[in-house]
Structures are given as structure tokens and as C-alpha cells.
Structure 1
């Protein structure tokens, strides 16, 4: 997967994606930075005048930010990241919680925003076979 997102401050992006999330930095220039998002290429592009248009969608009794992007993690990695984010003082849009408990799509999920306002979701399924189950 390759994903490019707009940011309004590369220094803030570097501190958040490299420092807070702990992603390895790849190639970069004075207007973009490549990140290793668990084997996927995430590129933060400097777009000074652009702002992310945000809406909300109701899921499991929570208002989920739209658009958003995210990553499926193993449960232990999800909880380690949640703790890392708490320690860094990151404000969650939706705090880490167990969604759909006891159902086929049971999953841990959390939502947050990067410094440019881009919404991110991280989740971990109890059974990875159920990621696309209907």
C-alpha cells in the first residue's frame, strides 16, 4: 500500500510520525517525507494552504472521523501503541476500546489526528479471518 497525505508542517509531521508513532523515516526532500508504516509507504506532503475536510460517520455508537486511514495491527502491537500514544500525551478522537465484543468482527480500535488534522485509525481484530467477513 502507498498512501500520500497532506500536512502543513514537515517538522511537526517528523515529530509525530517519527517521534510519537516511532515510524522509520525514508527518503525526504524539503516538501515531503516517506515513512515506513509497518511495511507500507506513507508519504507526508507539505501542502501549506490545504486543510483536511472532515465529516463524521456513526459506528458502534461512536462518531468516527471521515475520511481517515489506518492500519491493522496484532493485538499486542495495538496495546503497545495505545500506551505509547497515551505517554506522549496524544488526544484521542475515540479512546482505545473493544468494538463489537463477542461478535465475529470483534476488534480493538482507536482514532486520533496527526498535527495537520488527518484522522488515523489503528485496530486489532480478535480473529484476523474476520477482517472482511460480512
Structure 2
């Protein structure tokens, strides 16, 4: 079954810094834009950054414990193929990216084993990128 692209609009209080982050750091192609928002092709999905005053979640993210790490809530991201995830992790690490949770394999040897990493955009929005060697484990219990 083919997946439909999602559409996600997020607040950013520094449009120029966020535009650089999504466009240059991640290499996302830019679509339509105005003086207050920008569309990006975010791994085949439509991500829109909207200029907006700083939110409470951007000031200080709440966290929940998962596999011994404090996972920021809210967060968003994508599930990549294993090799694509490894290439992204290498690219971000080579650029000196600051991670909230460094790239690692979570739930190693258990149901739902996955590679994951968390980082913040320049406006404090939390992102997670993950991958499964067996995509059938995505919703496994």
C-alpha cells in the first residue's frame, strides 16, 4: 500500500534561520513561500514553516522517558530506510549538529528495534528520525 504524503505546518519565530535549517542542513527543496511562510519537500511530505511568536513548547519541551532517554514532546519526523537514516545521521554529525538524543539503536534485540535520533530546529521544534531494518516492526507490540 502506497502512503500519502502528510502536510504539517509548524511555528517558527525566526523564519530565516528555519529556512536555512530545512533547506540547507536537510537539503529539502523549497516550494511556495511568502514573507511569512515557506513550503518544503520534507522527505516527500509537505512541511510548512509559519512565522509565529515563540511558543511555550519551543521555550522548554516536555519529555517522557523512553528506553533510558528523555524524549521531547511534542516532536515530529519521518521513518526512513535504514541506509538513508545512516546517511542522514552521518551528514548531521559531520556538520556538528547538536542532538537532543544522539543517533543510536533503540530497543536493541526487542520487538520494535529501531534506529533513532532527536534534534531541535533553530526555533526549538523537536524532530525525530527513525528507521527499522524490518519495517514490519513499525507497529509491532
| TM-score class, shorter | over 0.9
Which of 54, 58, 74 is the matching residue for 1:50? 54
Task: Find 2:114's aligned residue among 87, 96, 107.
Answer: 107
RMSD between superposed Cα atoms in Å: 0.9
The answer to whether 1:41 aligns with 2:41 is no
Deviation >3 Å, runs of 4+: none
Structure 1 counterpart of 2:101, from 94, 99, 106:
94
Q: How does 1:4-43 map to 2 (within 5 A)?
A: 4-43=9-48
Question: How many aligned residue pairs are there?
Answer: 133
Aligned mates of 2:116, 2:82 — CA distance in 1: 10
Name the residue aligned to 1:130.
137
What TM-score comes out, normalization by structure 1 length? 0.96
Using the size of structure 2 for normalisation, the TM-score is: 0.91
Secondary structure at 2:115 match in 1:
strand
Structure 1: segments with no counterpart, 5+ residues: none
Gaps of 5+ in 2: 1-5
For residues 9-39 of structure 1, the C-alpha deviation after alignment (integer angstroms, 9 at most, x for no partner) is 1110111000001111111000000011111
